[in-house]
């Protein structure tokens, strides 16, 4: 397959809110990835401490910009014979720059239903993705995502993920919840996702899930890693790039921008307009199917 080919699969189901969010921000997402960039660097450090050469590699929820192959620090250490990048947002994949040194296939598909045979990839990774999965397959989306990732990883291969942990973005969500509560007061439609909208996980739940699918857990860590933003506005713009439609899903379309402005104001009042440390807690796991 050529690098630019996108296969549109029909099994995406009703993942509209997440898909709309990432489709609509495909062009701008890559310039709002300070958090994800940091996650990928930490994840890469852990992966390449174990091994530098991987035959077939799968990036789940690759999005439009970041990929292990674009980390210059690691470019000379890594060797992938092929990279498959998947995402539910076809527009994000189209916006992603191509990888030059190995065959690079982009495939639009759902992380909960990967269209690959069992045990195909030697490295499967998902950077800041698994907490986004929604439950539409009979089991929690996150569990289905992990079971699929492990299914397509070779025995002895590596599965690596960074996942947002409980505690992340508490300041932002205080502002978000206070504004969403106003909708209730006026009996206006509120987002259905207001509790834990980003699906933040607990470390023990991630480990239990990996163990329940028979994986060997190589490492599992919860890390507090604040990310410094030059201003509250810069941070809010980053949140908007990944969360606008998702966080306002269910709200009348013409109310969305007003609401976002109110969330932004309330957040800035709480934290001030100057430098801001994003309260990020991340889970990093490395596991191997048995
Ligand atoms: C925070 S972004 C991370 C993107 C990329 N991994 C990075 O590090 O920049 C989350 C990505 O997960 C994708 N995603 C969410 N739900 C998905 C699903 N069910 N199947 C595949 N991708 C999904 C989104 O479209 C988005 O590109």
The CATH number given to whatever domain includes residue 81 is 3.40.50.150
Task: Please check whether residue 211 lies inside any domain of the structure.
Answer: yes
Q: How much is the pLDDT for 51?
A: 81
Mean pLDDT value across the chain:
83
Assign 95 a pLDDT band (cuts: 50, 70, 90): confident
Share of residues in the chain with pLDDT > 70 (%): 84
* Chain-centroid distance, C-alpha 8: 20
Q: Looking at residues 157-168, what average pLDDT do you find? A: 94
Task: Please check whether residue 249 lies inside any domain of the structure.
Answer: no
Task: Please check whether residue 237 lies inside any domain of the structure.
Answer: no
Task: Please check whether residue 180 lies inside any domain of the structure.
Answer: no
Asked if residue 43 has its Cβ within 6 Å of ligand 1, the reply is no
How many structural domains are present in the chain? 1
The answer to whether the beta carbons of residues 85 and 98 sit under 8 Å apart is no
Residue 12's domain comprises 6-168+196-229+278-288
Q: Which of 54-63, 130-139, 159-168, 254-263 has the lowest mean pLDDT?
A: 130-139
Q: Which of 3-12, 92-101, 103-112, 199-208 has the lowest mean pLDDT?
A: 3-12
Assign 52 a pLDDT band (cuts: 50, 70, 90): confident
Q: Looking at residues 263-271, what average pLDDT do you find? A: 95
Q: How much is the pLDDT for 1?
A: 30
Q: Looking at residues 226-233, what average pLDDT do you find? A: 93
Q: How much is the pLDDT for 71?
A: 61
Q: Which residues, in sequence order, are CB contacts of 1 under 8 Å at separation 6+? A: 103, 105
Q: How much is the pLDDT for 191?
A: 67
Q: Which of 22-36, 47-61, 162-176 has the lowest mean pLDDT?
A: 22-36
Q: Which of 63, 88, 90, 86 shows the shortest CA–CA distance to 13?
A: 88
Q: How much is the pLDDT for 102?
A: 76
Which atom of ligand 1 lies at the shortest distance from residue 134's CA?
19
Task: Please check whether residue 266 lies inside any domain of the structure.
Answer: no
Distance 253 CA to ligand 1 centre (A): 23
Query: Of 12, 18, 109, which is best to mutate to test ligand 1, by the most ligand atoms within 8 angstroms of its C-beta?
Result: 18
Asked if residue 87 has its Cβ within 6 Å of ligand 1, the reply is yes
Q: Which of 235, 244, 173, 198 shows the shortest CA–CA distance to 25?
A: 244
Query: Of 42, 88, 249, which is best to mutate to test ligand 1, by the most ligand atoms within 8 angstroms of its C-beta?
Result: 88
Assign 97 a pLDDT band (cuts: 50, 70, 90): confident
User: Distances from the Cα of 180 to the Cαs of 166, 177, 187, 193, 222, in angstroms?
Assistant: 20, 5, 11, 11, 29
| Greater pLDDT, 70 or 196 | 196
Beta strand residue intervals within the chain, DSSP E = 6-8, 53-59, 79-87, 104-108, 121-127, 153-164, 216-224, 227-229, 276-278, 281-288
For residue 82, pLDDT over 80 is answered with yes
Q: How much is the pLDDT for 46?
A: 92
Distance 234 CA to ligand 1 centre (A): 21
d(CA 63, CA 129): 9
The answer to whether the beta carbons of residues 113 and 152 sit under 8 Å apart is no
Task: Please check whether residue 238 lies inside any domain of the structure.
Answer: no
Q: How much is the pLDDT for 28?
A: 72
d(CA 179, CA 214): 43
Task: Please check whether residue 217 lies inside any domain of the structure.
Answer: yes
**Would you give the DSSP letter of residue 82?**
E
Task: Please check whether residue 27 lies inside any domain of the structure.
Answer: yes
Asked if residue 209 has its Cβ within 6 Å of ligand 1, the reply is no
Q: How much is the pLDDT for 137?
A: 52
Distance 185 CA to ligand 1 centre (A): 33
Distance 254 CA to ligand 1 centre (A): 26
d(CA 212, CA 209): 5
Rounded to 5°, angle at Cα 263 from 261 and 268: 95
Share of residues in the chain with pLDDT > 90 (%): 46
Q: How much is the pLDDT for 55?
A: 86
Distance 10 CA to ligand 1 centre (A): 18
Q: Looking at residues 138-162, what average pLDDT do you find? A: 91
Query: Of 18, 29, 61, which is best to mutate to test ligand 1, by the most ligand atoms within 8 angstroms of its C-beta?
Result: 61
């Amino acid at each position: 397959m050529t690098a630019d080919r996108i296969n549109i699969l029909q099994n995406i189901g009703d993942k509209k809110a997440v898909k709309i969010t990432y489709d609509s921000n495909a062009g701008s997402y890559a310039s709002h990835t300070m958090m994800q960039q940091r996650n990928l660097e930490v994840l890469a450090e852990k992966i390449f401490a174990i091994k530098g050469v991987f035959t077939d590699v799968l990036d789940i929820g690759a999005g439009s910009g970041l990929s292990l192959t674009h980390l210059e620090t690691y470019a000379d250490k890594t060797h992938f014979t092929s990279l498959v990048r998947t995402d539910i947002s076809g527009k994000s994949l189209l916006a992603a720059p191509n990888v030059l040194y190995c065959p690079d296939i982009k495939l639009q598909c759902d992380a909960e239903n990967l269209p690959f045979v069992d045990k195909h990839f030697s490295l499967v990774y998902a950077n800041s993705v698994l907490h986004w999965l929604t439950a539409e397959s009979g089991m929690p989306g996150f569990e289905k995502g992990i079971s699929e990732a492990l299914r397509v990883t070779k025995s002895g291969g590596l599965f690596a993920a960074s996942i947002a942990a409980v505690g992340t973005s508490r300041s932002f969500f205080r502002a978000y919840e206070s504004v969403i509560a106003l909708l209730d007061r006026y009996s206006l439609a509120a987002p259905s996702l207001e509790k834990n909208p980003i699906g933040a996980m607990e470390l023990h739940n991630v480990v239990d899930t990996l163990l329940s699918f028979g994986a060997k857990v190589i490492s599992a860590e919860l890390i507090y890693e604040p990310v410094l933003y030059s201003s509250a506005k810069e941070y809010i713009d980053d949140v908007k790039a990944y969360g606008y439609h998702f966080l306002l899903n269910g709200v009348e379309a013409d109310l969305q921008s007003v609401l976002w402005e109110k969330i932004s104001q309330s957040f800035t009042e709480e934290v001030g307009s100057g430098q801001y440390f994003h309260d990020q807690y991340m889970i990093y796991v490395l596991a191997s199917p048995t």
